[in-house]
Amino acid sequence: MTLLTETTELKKCTACDEEISQYAHFCHHCGTLQSAPDELPLNQKMDKLWEAIAFFGIELTICCLFGFIESFHTIKGEIVTVSLLAVNKTVFIVRNWSKIKPVFTWNSWSFPKLMLYTAIAVLASVTVHYTTQWLNVSIFSGNVYYFPFFQKYRFAALLMVLFVAVLPAVTEEFGFRGFMLRQFLAITDQQQALGITSLLFAFVHLSFLSLFWLIPFAWFLGYVRIKEETIWYGVVMHFCFNLTTCLFELLYIHPYPIPNLP
Amino acid sequence: MPDITIILEYNLNLIPIMETTQASAIVNCPACFDQVNQASYCTSCGYPIQGTAEEQQNFIDQRYAMQIDLDEYEKKIKRAKNYLFFLSAVCLIWAFIGYHNGVDLATKNALLAINVILSTLFLVLAVWSKAKPTAALISGLVLYVIINVVNLVADPTTIIKGIIFKILIIAYFIKAINAAIAAEKLRKDHNL
């Protein structure tokens, strides 16, 4: 309910400059609709939606190429995939650079906050590690590891950290929390934008069993990105989460060859 | 949200509804029923409180037309919501068929687990679509497309099976997503 008398904060009407309640949808004097400054017309919202879907469609196609085509399961295939994904993200970020530029800055840098988010990421990763191991063994009678893929190459551990922890943390945060979340925030409310981005981020990993942790993890990354108005805390969290997974493999599941669990 | 019939009812009797509630300073808006100061326009819906009878009539007509548009959007959203329930049921059926036809225990468990997860996801999206239709329908469409892509990779012949039905579902989802965004904007802009 909007009562002029109950509001102390005022704003000016966008059409007649009359002072009106900041909660008023319409000017009481001239009747003009007072849209939010960032509120887009319907056709522009649709354009943003289709742009986000185009981004996601390309992203999904590239992930499917790597996920399902055997000849891509080499380090060269990995490099091609990561490069294609990076190009896709760069194109869409550059196209919208003026709008999304603010979230790529890190003006209010805080060390305690960074430590807190890092601790949350590491704890979440440990929990997910044990839970997925248990689920994989219970359902699939085996486990999936990253290291065997890199094992045959020189600097295997470094390659693994680069391709599992560093590159996904940077590119996925740029693409999903940098570009895509911004698109959906322009289309719908914050809660729905967070929901869509989290679900699409989880789906693109093409692992239905991992949805149980991917969705809340992505939601939290999106929440941090909105709360802190920067993607960099998210990048660090994502990196720490993935690095913890790598370290589990390198420290505890070492020495290789890594067998399937009975 | 005011019902269309209520709007029409008040439309026939505009003046009496503007009853003052606080020493003739506050009035109930005949269009949105919000309490507003006796200003020129309602701050909630833009109703011309001190306008001419013709202006008030035009406003009510426009609002009535918007309400009809909104009802149309709601119908499309509801249909897509029913598809989400339907997809949830289909996945659940496939879970049991997969479990029954699986060659070994690992395959049986995997098919059961994946299909139960998908069924639950569609069910959650269907329920969520009542409160947050845009997010639920976009996610539902994407999930449906991904399942078909995965099936296509596993067995290319699956894409042909029920192709018309698949295209129709995708088309209805796209229509419903457009409707959900339009409805959200209409509600926000006009406080419907």
Tally Cβ neighbours within 10 Å of residue A101: 11
Distance CA A103, CA A232 (A): 8
Q: CA quadruple A104, A232, A159, A217: dihedral positive or negative?
A: negative
Q: Report how far Cα A61 is from the mean position of its chain's Cα atoms.
A: 18
pLDDT band at A81 (very low <50, low <70, confident <90, very high): very high
Q: In the predicted model, is pLDDT for residue B41 greater than 80?
A: yes
Whether residues B139 and A27 touch (CB distance < 8 A) is answered with no
Whether residues B134 and A192 touch (CB distance < 8 A) is answered with yes
Helices assigned H by DSSP within A108-188: 111-135, 147-150, 156-160, 167-172, 181-187
ipTM of the complex: 0.82
Classify residue B46 as left (phi > 0), alpha (psi -120 to 50) or beta: left
pLDDT at A8: 57
Q: In the predicted model, is pLDDT for residue B17 greater than 70?
A: no
Please tell me which residue, A217 or A69, carries the higher pLDDT value.
A217
Q: In the predicted model, is pLDDT for residue B6 greater than 50?
A: no
Distance CA A169, CA B45 (A): 46
Contacts of A200 in chain B (CB under 8 A): 138-139, 142
**Which residue of chain B is at minimal alpha-carbon distance from A137?**
B106
pLDDT tens-digit map of A185-207: 999 999 999 999 999 999 999 88
Q: Which residues contact B161 (CB under 8 A, 6 or more apart)?
A: none
pLDDT at B2: 47
Q: For chain B, how long is the longest CA-to-CA vector? A: 80
Please tell me which residue, A54 or B186, carries the higher pLDDT value.
A54
Give the mutation candidate from B138, B146, B174, B184 for the A interface (greatest A CB count, under 10 A). Answer: B138
B12 Cα to chain A: minimum distance (Å): 22
Contacts of A187 in chain B (CB under 8 A): 134, 181
- Is the CB of residue A201 less than 8 Å from the CB of residue A210? no
Please tell me which residue, B94 or A7, carries the higher pLDDT value.
B94
Residue B129 C-beta-side C-alpha neighbours within 13 Å: 29
**Which residue of chain A is at minimal alpha-carbon distance from B144?**
A203
Q: CA quadruple A192, A41, A34, B184: dihedral positive or negative?
A: negative
- What's the rounded mean pLDDT across residues A209-235? 94
- Is the CB of residue B5 less than 8 Å from the CB of residue B21? no
- Which of A110-124, A220-234, B11-25, B136-150 is least confident? B11-25
Global confidence as pTM = 0.82
Question: Measured between CB atoms, which of A21, A60, A192 is closest to B132?
Answer: A192
pLDDT at B80: 94
Q: In the predicted model, is pLDDT for residue B59 greater than 80?
A: yes
- What's the rounded mean pLDDT across residues A245-257? 74
pLDDT tens-digit map of B99-144: 888 788 878 888 888 899 999 999 999 999 999 999 999 999 999 9
Tally Cβ neighbours within 10 Å of residue A105: 12
**Phi (first) and psi of residue B101, to 5 degrees:** -95, -5
Distance CA B118, CA A234 (A): 28
Q: In the predicted model, is pLDDT for residue A41 greater than 90?
A: no
State chain A's mean pLDDT as an integer: 87
Instruction: List the end-to-end C-alpha distance of chain B, in Å, as a whole number.
Output: 6
Residues 77-106 of chain B with CB under 8 A from chain A are 105-106
Nearest to A240 by CA among A146, A164, A175, A174: A164
Q: In the predicted model, is pLDDT for residue A222 greater than 80?
A: yes
Q: In the predicted model, is pLDDT for residue B7 greater than 50?
A: no
pLDDT band at B38 (very low <50, low <70, confident <90, very high): low
**Phi (first) and psi of residue A26, to 5 degrees:** -130, 150
**Which residue of chain A is at minimal alpha-carbon distance from B42?**
A28
Give the mutation candidate from B62, B142, B184 for the A interface (greatest A CB count, under 10 A). Answer: B142
Tell me, yes or no, if B146 comes closer than 8 A to chain A by beta carbon: yes
Q: Is the peptide bond before B30 cis (omega within 30 degrees of 0)?
A: no
A161 Cα to chain B: minimum distance (Å): 28
Q: In the predicted model, is pLDDT for residue A1 greater than 70?
A: no
